[in-house]
Amino acid sequence: MSTPLQRMLGAALAGTLGAGSLLAAEEPRQPWSPGIETSGYEWNQMRGEKLIALSQQGDPLRGEIAYEVCKGCHEADARGEIDGSYPRLAGQHATVLIKQLTDVRAGVRDNQKMYPYANEHVITPQEIADIAIYLQGLQAPAENGLGSGERLQRGDDLYGDHCKECHGRHGEGDADGFYPRVGRQHYAYLLREARMIRDGERRNAHPEMVDVIDSYSEDDLAAVADYMSRLPGARTEASAKSP
Amino acid sequence: MACMMLAASLAAADEQDPTRALVQTECAHCHGSEGNATPPSFPKLAGLQHEYLLKQLNDYRYGRRESATMQPIVESLSGSQVQDLADYFSRQRRTIGTPYLKGMVPLGRRVYHQGDRERGVPACAGCHRPDGGGTDRSPLIAGQNSAYVLVQLRAFHNDQRSNDRGQLMRTTAARMTEQEMVAVSEYVAGMDVIPAAP
């Protein structure tokens, strides 16, 4: 016959020892929607909450509060990580952020790691617009991840031929076209995403971009990612003066 | 004699302040008169965000957070008493705590401020802030008793506590190892407590 205290201690001990053997909680699973692998795929289809978030007036003050849940990975100043594990979000176009976030939520861009922190139970469609406008207004910190710097001429050539038209001469992207600002993004992130786009694994990719970089070797991908990571990401005073 | 007079005057003060009297009869035994619980398995309530306290108390009342001890206590309180208690404890100043396994603190510090990029564990600092002060959405964690924090992390990890917003804590804890949960619990206990605004 055990005393209540003994039973309590026993239960506490069992809890301690048993903790590791219990199954971990099932996290919210990202849904799957047809993407580039499906015939009839339409890039950046305007529907659902993407349309809602794009039509909302974003409020950067509310966005700063709602951004709280993103900080644990993308950092308080949205600089991401130098090693490219998480992209820099500061200074990105609001339209691009809304497109990518809603693509993840809809399951067209696969990202199970992020989904539990970005789904509709955590961030409302209005907050998507708020966060996006807040991040767009943040100054990107000076330092970002760069490549080796060994094949920048090759990167320059490829960028001029294939990328500049959409992503801009300075890597500034195009807010209206939903083309991301790539200048001063972390190299390893750019390389990883470019590889996934080439290989059909980034399922929300632009089909024309897949065609363009389809023949790129690993070295070419690295060269152009390195080149992009060094672009200013905006028209600078120096570049504005050059022809 | 002076001691008895002090006790008498304190009792008189309690009679005049029904919230303090309520704290003494219902809460102080486990959580301390000022909400700085000394037994390590009980949570400190001092300085917790008003919204957070209110939510937890109501979650006990309606069974969204399970506790055979807390539920009957909250059920015996009126809505305005719950409000008063949340108000009272949110205004108390939290004391600094003690890490018991000091060797775990460096790992805890790293997980708290950096998370784990490979497994997608976000840094605790993101929501609970680098100083552990928390926000309106995420509670103050600095100085909290380590045994309590560990029990809660395990409960989230195992899906046994489920009143977290958007499953955020369940997801995060489930991605953590037992060692990381122990380490973070030890680290937060010893964090400096930044005094809340008066």
State how far the Cα of B168 lies from the Cα of A116, in Å rounded to an integer.
7
Domain that holds residue A72: 43-143
- The answer as to whether A126 is a domain residue is yes
Q: Are residues A83 and A156 in the same domain?
A: no
Helices (H) then strands (E): counts for chain A: 13, 0
Closest by Cα among B113, B186, B115 to B148: B186
Q: Of A124, A143, A162, which marks where a domain is finished?
A: A143
Q: Are residues A100 and A53 in the same domain?
A: yes
Q: Are residues A226 and A158 in the same domain?
A: yes
Count how many domains chain A has: 2
Q: Are residues A163 and A211 in the same domain?
A: yes
State how far the Cα of B5 lies from the Cα of B1, in Å rounded to an integer.
6
Q: Are residues A120 and A197 in the same domain?
A: no
Q: Are residues A126 and A213 in the same domain?
A: no
For residue range A205-218, what is the model confidence (pLDDT) as tens digits?
A: 999 999 999 999 99
Contact A113 B171 (CB under 8 A): no
Tokens of residue B152, six digits: 């809660």
Q: Of A126, A143, A160, which marks where a domain is finished?
A: A143
Q: Are residues A123 and A199 in the same domain?
A: no
Give residue A224's pLDDT band: very low, low, confident or very high (50, 70, 90).
very high
Position A14 scores a pLDDT of 43
State the count of interchain CB pairs (< 8 A) between A and B: 87
State how far the Cα of B148 lies from the Cα of B144, in Å rounded to an integer.
8
Q: Are residues A47 and A121 in the same domain?
A: yes
- The answer as to whether A203 is a domain residue is yes
| B70: three-class secondary structure by DSSP | helix
- The answer as to whether A12 is a domain residue is no
Contact A121 B175 (CB under 8 A): no
In this prediction the ipTM stands at 0.89
Residue B138 φ then ψ, to 5°: -135, 130
Q: Are residues A65 and A93 in the same domain?
A: yes
Q: What is the largest CA-CA distance in chain A?
A: 91
Pick the CATH number of B102-189 from 1.10.760.10, 3.40.50.720, 1.20.1740.10, 1.10.3470.10: 1.10.760.10
CB atoms within 10 A of CB B44: 26
Residue A120, domain CATH: 1.10.760.10
Give residue A18's pLDDT band: very low, low, confident or very high (50, 70, 90).
very low
CATH of domain B13-90: 1.10.760.10
Asked whether the predicted pLDDT for residue A10 surpasses 70, the reply is no
Interface mutation vs chain B, best among A21, A27, A85, most B CBs within 10 Å: A27
Of A25, A71, A117, the CB nearest to B174: A25
Parse chain B into domains and list their residue ranges: 13-90, 102-189
Residues in chain B: 198
- The answer as to whether A30 is a domain residue is no
**Whole-model pTM?**
0.89
State how far the Cα of A171 lies from the Cα of A188, in Å rounded to an integer.
16
Q: Are residues A138 and A160 in the same domain?
A: no
Mean pLDDT of A52-68: 97
- The answer as to whether A61 is a domain residue is yes
- The answer as to whether A10 is a domain residue is no
Cβ contact A87:A186 at 8 Å: yes
State how far the Cα of A98 lies from the Cα of A55, in Å rounded to an integer.
11
What is the Cα gyration radius of chain B? 18
| A174: three-class secondary structure by DSSP | strand
Q: Are residues A179 and A88 in the same domain?
A: no
Residue B116 φ then ψ, to 5°: -135, 110
For residue range A149-189, what is the model confidence (pLDDT) as tens digits?
A: 999 999 999 999 999 999 999 999 999 999 999 999 999 99
- Which residues on chain B are in Cβ contact (under 8 Å) with A62? none
Of B120, B135, B136, the CB nearest to A113: B120
Q: Of A143, A166, A185, which marks where a domain is finished?
A: A143
For residue range B80-99, what is the model confidence (pLDDT) as tens digits?
A: 999 999 999 999 999 999 89
Residue B121 φ then ψ, to 5°: -85, 115
How high is the mean pLDDT of chain A? 91
